[in-house]
Amino acid sequence: MTPERKTDHAKDATARSAPVGKPERKPWVKKSPVDVVLAQIERVKEDVAKREEELKLARRQLQKLEEAKKLLEST
**What's the whole-number average pLDDT of the chain?**
84
Distance CA 6, CA 16 (A): 16
Give yes or no for residue 57 having a pLDDT over 70.
yes
Total-model pTM:
0.56
Give yes or no for residue 37 having a pLDDT over 60.
yes
* Residue spans per domain, the chain: 30-75
Give yes or no for residue 54 having a pLDDT over 70.
yes
What is the separation of C-alpha 26 from the centre of its chain, rounded to a whole number of angstroms? 21
Give yes or no for residue 20 having a pLDDT over 60.
yes
